[in-house]
Amino acid sequence: MAEFSDDKPFYLAFSRVRGIGPARLRLLLSRFGALANAWQASASQLAGAGLDQKSVDSLVAARKTIIPERELEAVERAGITALTWVDDGYPRLLRQIDDPPPALYVRGAILDADAWAVAIVGTRRATVYGREVAEMLAGDLVRNHITIVSGLARGIDAVAHQAALDAGGRTLAVLGCGVDVIYPPEHRKLAQQIMASGALVSDYPPGTQPEAANFPPRNRIISGLSLGAIVVEADEQSGALITANFAAEQGREVFAVPGNILNRSSRGANRLIQKGAKLVVETGDILEELNLSAVAEHVEAQAALPEDDTERALLARLSHEPVQADELVRALGLPAEVVTAALAMMELKGMVRQASGTSFVLARETRPPYRVD
């Protein structure tokens, strides 16, 4: 049996095989060592590895039409990023859940900063109250450098995404279809904005249509990408409650916004509070419970760290007494344009400020980010 050094095309190929999920994929990896080997295995070898007959038949049939290398080529050609279990860029929080999706398709970008994320979910039939609360929470959270995760659905989801964008923050939308298939279609413009300031995410291969059965499973990814899940409005059959259940199973915090007991759209959230979900009356409740109050300071501190030897050398020679730029050039022995460019970048980052003319000093203070007290 041939050995392959790169299993990525095979992760993508297996994502198209019905019935082969995380558990069965782990089984194949433990038996064959590499997915490339499992893809080439005979039906009897697959059965001997522990696959049930239905899964064996599904895989044997899929191999007749799926060419792994072309799967990877098609994804790259479409501008989609594929992240697998073996990729460093695979989201850290999602990797921690039981049976994370083996392949994740992304349009846009998932950044390290998105590890500070909170999900906001709720009913598609949002009330004015629900919309106002979702908008307030999402806006406040992103001003505290928290990424908003939701499902791009009508109602609360869309309000949360839009509020995050309007506040200049990041947001991730987890789809129940391929990332190249926008559903609902009226959210196409919103999806484009999300890709520019976050990402569309799905474990369904490109081209997958939005079938009803796809949406409950995708909710485990919404909660899996998040430190906690907030249910703003939800009736007792809402998909938002599925997200809350997944969050609880994954050891993530569950929050709920109380609502009118006479309003059907509040029954699910109110029941969650009865069962122990954290009641939310202000954004500070979420920041405090998740210990996120210091994220803004952490991000600011990271921005203030020198990025290279030039910045470090300049910081060592600057104080709160003005120093001329040409004096810094002579001290560092670097071209004037290099020093000038570094000083300009450090000024943008709030590390230094121009005192007068061409002299610079260390910044006495930096402007604090918006905080929810």
Is CATH 1.10.150 the right assignment for the domain spanning 1-71? yes
Q: Percentage helix, strand, coil, to 5, in the chain?
A: 50, 15, 40
- Is the pLDDT at 120 greater than 60? The verdict is yes
> Rounded distance, CA 366 to CA 173, Å?
33
- Is the pLDDT at 37 greater than 90? The verdict is yes
DSSP state of 235: -
Ranges of each domain in the chain: 1-71, 106-294, 304-362
List, in order, residues 6 or more apart from 207 with CB less than 8 Å away: 178, 180, 181
Residue 239 tokens, joined: 């998909």
In this prediction, residues 254-276 reach a mean pLDDT of 93
Report yes or no: 190 and 161 within 8 Å, Cβ to Cβ: yes
In this prediction, residues 294-316 reach a mean pLDDT of 71
Q: What is the pLDDT of residue 366?
A: 36
Please give the helix or strand (H or E) that residue 354 lies within, else none: strand 352-356
Higher pLDDT pick, 351 / 13 = 13
pLDDT in tens, 201-259: 999 999 999 999 999 999 999 999 999 999 999 988 889 999 999 999 999 999 999 99
Q: What is the pLDDT of residue 367?
A: 33
List, in order, residues 6 or more apart from 53 with CB less than 8 Å away: 47
Q: What is the pLDDT of residue 305?
A: 61
Is CATH 1.10.10.10 the right assignment for the domain spanning 304-362? yes
pLDDT in tens, 154-206: 999 999 999 999 999 999 999 999 999 999 999 999 999 999 999 999 999 99
- What's the chain's average pLDDT? 90
> Rounded distance, CA 313 to CA 309, Å?
6
- Is the pLDDT at 277 greater than 90? The verdict is yes
If you classify domain 106-294 with CATH, what class do you get? Answer: alpha beta
In this prediction, residues 133-144 reach a mean pLDDT of 96
Report yes or no: 202 and 208 within 8 Å, Cβ to Cβ: yes
Report yes or no: 144 and 253 within 8 Å, Cβ to Cβ: no
Q: What is the pLDDT of residue 371?
A: 38
Angle at 349 between CA 345 and CA 352, to 5 degrees: 80
Banded pLDDT at 304 (limits 50, 70, 90): low
